């Protein structure tokens, strides 16, 4: 197998996790935040990242992996540089999100849950983002886009190199 | 044509006044005065709780539990007590908490301070859903300002009391909004609901007494203490409705509890789109049974909706006009519960899978005449049998749609039968 060599969490990530542990009475409370720290560093929760978190929190790897697999926003497989989340719940559905999902799919050549071959985008259809006054709502990384129409999508994608 | 004058708001206005994300404008407008009085002992815990009881405030997270009573349940002599704020806002088409967090973070911080000082907690956790990036940045910045001014942290308002407030982020799971699942999640585990009792008030976070309230609920608290419960009640009492779907002006509206569904849609939210007719509306998020045109004059309050078999829930009004296909809407809704079922109990896990399969089959023109009775049977099997309210939310809507919109199901099935 090629690719970068396996590495545990970096010093910065370990220091951040140690800070997080201090916020709670029990160290396992820092697990979700620590997984986000590891995910930011590794791009996704690789087996090495999971092992690093387990070590930092003194938890069994199996427990860490089990918790990570429960939540939608932990990525156990590599994702693109940018993650596009298109809401498909009721308010967005009633306001035409199906056409938005279709256009994203056509422009990127991927289906929901897939990543473009160049590793730039992962497309995901998601449940309610609680931005229903702006339906159809789309989240790209940490940015919320309001009242997105199929015609907006080319310009929107350009913003994320 | 008479024009409708929206009543003055007393809670939402904090989020609609520009500048309220900053400490100084908030304080100049009278903010943090109620928390200061509580910290200084000018308002005793008993007096705070009395005011909440007198105000009639009920939980805004969905269950509608009387807030004053909940605060009273917290044992007063426990060595450690926590306050936990539910900012998971996962109920489909609910966005009032996000609106408050983004526009009036200090109002929430003040509510949390009052809660902590009243029940004797030194630490509060605000559990925000992960996707609330802007809300989290706004709240963290406001917390920094409040800390720097000595209102949060050590010796708040110059008193001997410490209140630390920590923002914690979820990771994408609707069930984490259920209070006991939220506590599991906050303890770093899968968000699986716990058996109740014990209730969080007795054994919550780390098995300590825990006061758990919704974001909006806590935002009402400083308003109640500032105006007094009587004047607060004169406003309705106020409720924040998230109105979405097929309306001209979707948004969060503050209206008196008991406002007519018709008024919310046609007065507050600007009505339906030109040429459209009202078909249905979920009154309290997708977990509440949808209402139809006969219900437009039903008062939007806890009891009136419960009598109909529906509920006020999170007061998320999802408006559906005659252009929509009700079978698609119900199928999408049931699919949501299938996606979000935590898998702990069988009726919810299997019932949502099975119902989705039948609904998909109908939508794809492969429905059979006996499918409608089958759906009713699945709904019966999920009623009163699920471990938590997530699964229990499915049957009322499914059954109501089969009653009110049976013709739409039958058209799909007739088409399928002819095709064979
Ligand atoms: C499946 C499910 C999801 C829930 N999601 C939320 C939520 O996102 N936010 C919330 O405040 N309450 C939610 N609740 C209600 C909570 O369990 C709880 O009643 C509420 O947070 C208590 O606060 P309150 O008394 O101030 O309303 C949910 C309940 C269930 C059963």
**pLDDT tens-digit profile of B225-258?**
999 999 999 999 999 999 999 999 999 999 999 9
**pLDDT confidence of residue B419:** 58
Residues B101-141: pLDDT tens digits? 999 999 999 999 999 999 999 999 999 999 999 999 999 99
Residues 6+ apart with CB under 8 A from B78: B120, B208, B209
| B-interface mutation test, from A112, A133, A145, most B Cβ less than 10 A away | A133
Candidates B116, B317, B132, B370; CA nearest to B218 is B116
Once rounded to an integer, what is the mean pLDDT over residues A4-21?
86
**pLDDT confidence of residue A1:** 42
A132/B244 Cβ within 8 A:
yes
Strand ranges of the sheet holding B278-282, from the earlier edge strand across to the other edge: B251-256, B238-245, B316-321, B278-282, B291-292
Nearest CA in chain A to B323: A94
**pLDDT confidence of residue A154:** 97
Contact of B100 with chain A, judged by CB distance below 8 Å, is answered with no
Contact of A127 with chain B, judged by CB distance below 8 Å, is answered with yes
**pLDDT confidence of residue B417:** 73
Contact of B136 with chain A, judged by CB distance below 8 Å, is answered with no
Residue A2 — pLDDT band, cuts 50, 70, 90?
very low
Per-position DSSP letters for A112-157, written without gaps between them:
TT-B-TTSSEEEEEES--S-GGGPSPEEETTEEE-S--GGGHHHHH
**pLDDT confidence of residue A6:** 53
CATH number of B326-419: 1.20.1440.230
Nearest CA in chain B to A75: B171
**pLDDT confidence of residue B270:** 98
CATH classification of B13-232, choosing from 3.40.640.10, 3.20.20.70, 3.40.50.10310, 3.40.50.11540? Answer: 3.40.50.11540
**C-alpha to C-alpha distance for B18 and B23, rounded to whole angstroms:** 12
Tokens for B33?
């005065």
Q: Kindly report the number of other CB atoms within 10 A of residue B32's CB atom.
A: 24
Contact of B93 with chain A, judged by CB distance below 8 Å, is answered with yes
**C-alpha to C-alpha distance for B300 and B64, rounded to whole angstroms:** 13
B339/A90 Cβ within 8 A:
no
Mean residue pLDDT of chain A comes to 95
Nearest alpha carbon, ligand 1 atom 11: B61
**pLDDT confidence of residue B3:** 76
pLDDT exceeds cutoff 80 at A19: yes
| A-interface mutation test, from B86, B88, B121, B131, most A Cβ less than 10 A away | B131
A94/B172 Cβ within 8 A:
no
Contacts of B84 in chain A (CB under 8 A): none
What parts of chain B have a pLDDT lower than 70? 1-2, 419-420
Contacts of A89 in chain B (CB under 8 A): 92-93, 286, 332, 336
B92/A29 Cβ within 8 A:
no
pLDDT exceeds cutoff 70 at A107: yes
If one residue of B58, B86, B349 were mutated to test the ligand 1 pocket, choosing by the most ligand atoms within 8 A of its CB, it would be B86
Nearest CA in chain A to B191: A70
Contact of B61 with chain A, judged by CB distance below 8 Å, is answered with no
Q: Residue ranges per domain, chain B?
A: 13-232, 237-321, 326-419
Is the bond leading into B27 cis (omega within 30 degrees of zero)? no
Protein residues with CB under 6 Å of any ligand 1 atom: B 59-63, 65, 86, 88-91, 175, 177-179, 212-214, 217, 388-390
CATH architecture of the domain B237-321 equals: Roll (3.10)
B187/A94 Cβ within 8 A:
no
Contact of A112 with chain B, judged by CB distance below 8 Å, is answered with no
């Amino acid at each position: 197998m090629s690719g970068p060599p396996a590495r545990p969490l970096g010093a910065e990530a370990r220091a951040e996790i140690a800070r997080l542990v201090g916020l709670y009475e029990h160290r396992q409370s820092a697990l979700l935040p620590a997984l986000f720290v590891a995910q930011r560093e590794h791009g996704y929760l690789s087996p090495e990242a999971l092992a690093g978190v387990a070590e930092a929190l003194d938890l069994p790897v199996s427990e860490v992996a089990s918790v990570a697999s429960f939540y939608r926003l932990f990525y156990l497989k590599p994702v693109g540089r940018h993650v596009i989340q298109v809401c498909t719940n009721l308010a967005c559905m009633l306001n035409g999100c199906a056409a938005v999902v279709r256009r994203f799919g056509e422009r990127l050549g991927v289906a929901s849950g897939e990543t473009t071959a160049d590793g730039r985008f992962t497309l995901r259809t998601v449940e309610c983002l609680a931005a229903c006054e702006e339906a159809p709502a789309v989240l790209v990384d940490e940015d919320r886009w309001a009242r997105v129409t199929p015609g907006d999508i080319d310009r929107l994608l350009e913003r994320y190199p | 044509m008479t024009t409708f004058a929206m009543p003055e708001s007393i809670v939402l206005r904090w989020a609609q006044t520009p500048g309220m994300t900053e400490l100084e404008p908030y304080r100049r407008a009278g903010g943090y005065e109620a928390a200061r009085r509580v910290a200084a002992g000018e308002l005793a815990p008993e007096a705070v709780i009395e005011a909440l009881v007198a105000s009639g405030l009920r939980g805004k997270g969905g269950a509608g539990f009387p807030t004053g009573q909940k605060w009273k349940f917290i044992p007063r002599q426990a060595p450690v007590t926590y306050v936990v704020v539910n900012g998971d806002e996962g109920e489909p088409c609910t966005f009032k908490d996000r609106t408050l967090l983004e526009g009036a973070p200090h109002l929430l911080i003040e509510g949390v301070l009052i809660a902590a000082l009243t029940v004797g907690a030194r630490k509060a956790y605000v559990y925000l859903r992960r996707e609330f990036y802007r809300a989290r940045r706004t709240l963290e910045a406001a917390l920094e300002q409040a800390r720097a001014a000595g209102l949060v942290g050590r010796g708040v308002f110059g008193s001997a009391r410490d209140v630390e407030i920590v923002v914690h982020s979820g990771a994408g799971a609707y069930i984490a909004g259920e209070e006991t699942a939220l506590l599991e999640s906050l303890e770093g585990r899968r968000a699986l609901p716990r058996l109740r009792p014990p209730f969080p008030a007795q054994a919550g976070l780390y098995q300590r007494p825990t006061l758990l309230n919704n974001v909006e609920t806590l935002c009402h608290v400083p308003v109640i203490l500032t105006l007094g419960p009587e004047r607060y009640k004169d406003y309705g009492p106020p409720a924040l409705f998230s109105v979405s779907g097929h309306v001209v002006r979707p948004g969060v509206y503050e209206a008196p509890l008991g406002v007519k569904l018709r008024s919310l849609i046609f007065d507050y939210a600007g009505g339906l789109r030109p040429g459209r007719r009202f078909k249905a509306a979920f009154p309290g998020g997708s977990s509440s049974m949808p209402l139809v045109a006969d219900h437009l004059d039903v008062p939007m309050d806890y009891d009136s909706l419960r009598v109909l078999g529906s509920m006020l829930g999170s007061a998320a009004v999802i408006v559906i006009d005659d252009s929509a296909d009700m079978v698609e809407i119900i199928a999408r809704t049931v699919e949501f519960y299938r996606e979000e079922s935590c898998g702990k109990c069988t009726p919810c896990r299997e019932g949502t899978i099975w119902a989705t399969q039948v609904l998909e089959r109908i939508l794809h023109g492969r429905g059979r005449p006996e499918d409608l009775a089958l759906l009713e049977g699945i709904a019966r099997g999920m009623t009163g049998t699920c471990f938590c309210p997530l699964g229990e939310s499915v049957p009322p809507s499914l059954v109501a749609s089969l009653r009110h919109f049976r013709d739409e199901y039958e058209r799909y099935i007739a088409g399928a039968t002819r095709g064979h």
